[in-house]
Structures are given as structure tokens and as C-alpha cells.
């Protein structure tokens, strides 16, 4: 089996970064303005700021949160609870269905803990789209601010899908949807909060990173649909315990009682990328799911090089033990 081709920056992103790299210093702020405008449009928010990474965005936002932060018990970036600990920010997990949020359970958690904010991501473990509009309605009704990590969906979702979220932030670093060497963003309708965030995050936006974000957002809708197509087709080929089989996502999770042994065996069969990366993550793992199993990380792959034949190869490698 030939290695599968890694997904790099989109064509528009590469062209934009090349242009920015050749531009003179006087054009620096043009690329930042264009990226800010593109992010405002993508999220439907009034204010946007470029930062160095998704981690920086999360740190800057959580540093401004008052009170306890509620986090899903699985399915979001593992660095988020670590950031809460580093900031001395109290946090608590609430129960989910492999990362998917039940608004009734969330409402009870907000009322019980009197939390100041809820932090979620737009795809549970990259496996299933979250109903952010419903979550935002619940948060507003019960008096909690909603912070949404849009790394999986930025440019792929239309702005209304983010509902009434107070903050929409994310990472542009691979292997995210924007899939760049680095970069992150924070957006909001609350100018005062954004001014406070700017006071604690003094990142000087790099013009090449800004140009990459603008270019990547041009292609994000197409990339998003291609990754969904790959995931849906792979799920249709697999039998067994596929997690969130009927929900849209990029990665495909399966329950398995010996995930590490299985992942090693599948790697030996050639299920790797051209950069030598394994296509499988093993669980339990907080940023995917907390049962024993594996996740096929299709988001690592170049969709233009993955058709039905390649997906059949992946399914056969996973299905034959």
C-alpha cells in the first residue's frame, strides 16, 4: 500500500503567503486588515484579532473569564483544561455523549455550578458536528457566556451556525481546517471584551500568517465539504461500532478493545502518510473520546488525492484483523 498524501496549505493560501513574503514592509498592515475582515465575515462577528496560535487565543480569552468554566468531559482540545489550571481558573467537566452535548444536561450543570462560561468546540473530537446554536440558546437562558473553538469549521460553516456565541476563536495550525504553519484568531461582537483581550495578548501579527489565513478561508468551504465526503463514505464501508455514524465530521471513531496493538498492526500494513504519520489515533484520549478505540484521522489527508479506491483501501486495512 502506498503512503497517503498529506494535506498541506490550500492553493489560495500558498499563493497568498508567497505574495506576502515578497511584499515590502509598508504593505504589512494590508495583510492583517484583509485577514481580520475575512474572519469577521466567516464568523459573523464585529471584531476580530489575529494571534500566534489557537493556544494563545484560548489563554487570552480564558484569562478574562470570571467564575467557573464548564468543559465537555471529552472531545475538545486537551490543552484547554491545562490552560485553566495554569491560569488558576476553576473548571468542571459536564457529561456528554462521546463529546456531543445534551442541552438539558448542560443547563443543569450551569445551574448547579453557577458557572461563568462554557467552552466547547464545533466538532466533538472532530467526529461529529455540534449543535452550537442550541448550546448558545441554553447558555444565554441560564446566564453563562459561551466560548466556541471553531478550528474544525471556520470557513466551512456559515456564520448563523455559531448562534449567539460570545466568543468564536480557533487555530489555523495544521492539521486544522485552515491547515497552515501557524496562526490563530479571536472574534466577538463585544468590543470591550476584545479590548481587554488585546491588553493581555500583545502578538504582532505576521503578514505571511495573515495572508495564509485569508487565502485558506477562500478554499475552506470546498475543503470542508471534501473532508465530510471522505468521512461519510468511509463510514458507509465500515461495519462495527462506528461512533456518531450518522453525524457529519472529519475523523471516524470506532470502538476497539485493543487499540494500541491494532494501530501498530495497521501501521505495518502501510496505513501512513507520505510524511510518515500514522492515520490512527488511539483512545481513550480526552480530545477524541474516553472509551477504548481508534480514530481514523482523515483530516490529515489531501482530499484531492482520496477517492473511492483509497477509502476502500483504508476500510479494508481497518476491517481485516
* Contact present, 118 and 106 (Cβ < 8 Å): yes
Distance CA 92, CA 70 (A): 5
CB atoms within 10 A of CB 15: 15
One CATH from 3.40.1350, 3.90.1150, 2.40.128, 3.40.1000 for 220-319: 3.90.1150
Closest CA to 224 of 122, 131, 85: 122
Q: What percent of the chain has pLDDT over 70?
A: 99
Predicted confidence band at 263 (pLDDT cuts at 50, 70, 90)?
very high
- Residues 198-208 have pLDDT tens digits of 887 777 788 99
Q: What is the mean predicted confidence (pLDDT) over 14-38? A: 89
Q: What is the mean predicted confidence (pLDDT) over 133-162? A: 98
Q: What percent of the chain has pLDDT over 90?
A: 88
Same CATH fold assignment for domains 11-217 and 220-319? no
- Main-chain phi, psi angles of 158, to 5 degrees: -80, 150
**What average pLDDT is seen over the chain?**
94
DSSP annotation of 117 reads: E
Tell me the H-state helices in 76-116: 79-87, 103-113
Q: What is the mean predicted confidence (pLDDT) over 92-102? A: 98
pLDDT of 170: 97
- For the chain, give every domain's residue range: 11-217, 220-319
Q: Which three cell numbers stand for residue 131?
A: 449543535
Contacts of 181 (CB under 8 A, 6+ apart): 9, 173, 174, 209, 212
pLDDT of 320: 66
End-to-end CA distance of the chain: 16
pLDDT of 24: 75
Distance CA 5, CA 298 (A): 11
pLDDT of 73: 98
Q: Beta strand pairing status for 252-255 and 280-283? A: unpaired
pLDDT of 321: 59
pLDDT of 32: 92
Maximum C-alpha span of the chain: 59
- Main-chain phi, psi angles of 186, to 5 degrees: -135, 135
Estimate the share of the chain in helix, then strand, then coil, as percent rounded to the nearest 5.
Answer: 45, 20, 35
Q: What is the mean predicted confidence (pLDDT) over 41-65? A: 95
Q: Which helix (H) or strand (E) holds 186?
A: strand 184-188
Q: Which three cell numbers stand for residue 197?
A: 483581550
Residue 214 has pLDDT above 70, yes or no: yes
pLDDT of 285: 98
Distance CA 293, CA 282 (A): 6
What is the CATH architecture assignment of 11-217?
3-Layer(aba) Sandwich (3.40)
* Contact present, 140 and 93 (Cβ < 8 Å): no
Helices (H) and strands (E) in the chain, counts: 10, 13
Q: What is the mean predicted confidence (pLDDT) over 280-308? A: 97
Amino acid at each position: 500500500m502506498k503512503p497517503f498524501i498529506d494535506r498541506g496549505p490550500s492553493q489560495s493560501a500558498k499563493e497568498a503567503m508567497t505574495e506576502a513574503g515578497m511584499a515590502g514592509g509598508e504593505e504589512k498592515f494590508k495583510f492583517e486588515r484583509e485577514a481580520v475582515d475575512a474572519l469577521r465575515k466567516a464568523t459573523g462577528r464585529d471584531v476580530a484579532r489575529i494571534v500566534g496560535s489557537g493556544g494563545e487565543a484560548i489563554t487570552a480569552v480564558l484569562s478574562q473569564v470570571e467564575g467557573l468554566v464548564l468543559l465537555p468531559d471529552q472531545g475538545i482540545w486537551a490543552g484547554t483544561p491545562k490552560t485553566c489550571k495554569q491560569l488558576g481558573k476553576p473548571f468542571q467537566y459536564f457529561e456528554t455523549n462521546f463529546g456531543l452535548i445534551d442541552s438539558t444536561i448542560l443547563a443543569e450543570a450551569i445551574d448547579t455550578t453557577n458557572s461563568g462560561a462554557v467552552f466547547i468546540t464545533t466538532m466533538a473530537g472532530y467526529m461529529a458536528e455540534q449543535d452550537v446554536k442550541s448550546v448558545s440558546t441554553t447558555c444565554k437562558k441560564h446566564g453563562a457566556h459561551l466560548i466556541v473553538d471553531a478550528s474544525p469549521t471556520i470557513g466551512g460553516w456559515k456564520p448563523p451556525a455559531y448562534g449567539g456565541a460570545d466568543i468564536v476563536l480557533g487555530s489555523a495550525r495544521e492539521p486544522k481546517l485552515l491547515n497552515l504553519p501557524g496562526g490563530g484568531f479571536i472574534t466577538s461582537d463585544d468590543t470591550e471584551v476584545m479590548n481587554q483581550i488585546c491588553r493581555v495578548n500583545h502578538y504582532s501579527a505576521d503578514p505571511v500568517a495573515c495572508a495564509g489565513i485569508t487565502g485558506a478561508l477562500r478554499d475552506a468551504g470546498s475543503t470542508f465539504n471534501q473532508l465530510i465526503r471522505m468521512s461519510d463514505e468511509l463510514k458507509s464501508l465500515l461495519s462495527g461500532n462506528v461512533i456518531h455514524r450518522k453525524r457529519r465530521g472529519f475523523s471516524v471513531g470506532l470502538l476497539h478493545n485493543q487499540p494500541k496493538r491494532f494501530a501498530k498492526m495497521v501501521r505495518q500494513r502501510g496505513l501512513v502518510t507520505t510524511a510518515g504519520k500514522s492515520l490512527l489515533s488511539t483512545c481513550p484520549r480526552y480530545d477524541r473520546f474516553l472509551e477504548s478505540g481508534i480514530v481514523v484521522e482523515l483530516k490529515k489527508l489531501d482530499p484531492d488525492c482520496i477517492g473511492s479506491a483509497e477509502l476502500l483501501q483504508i476500510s479494508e486495512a481497518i476491517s481485516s484483523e
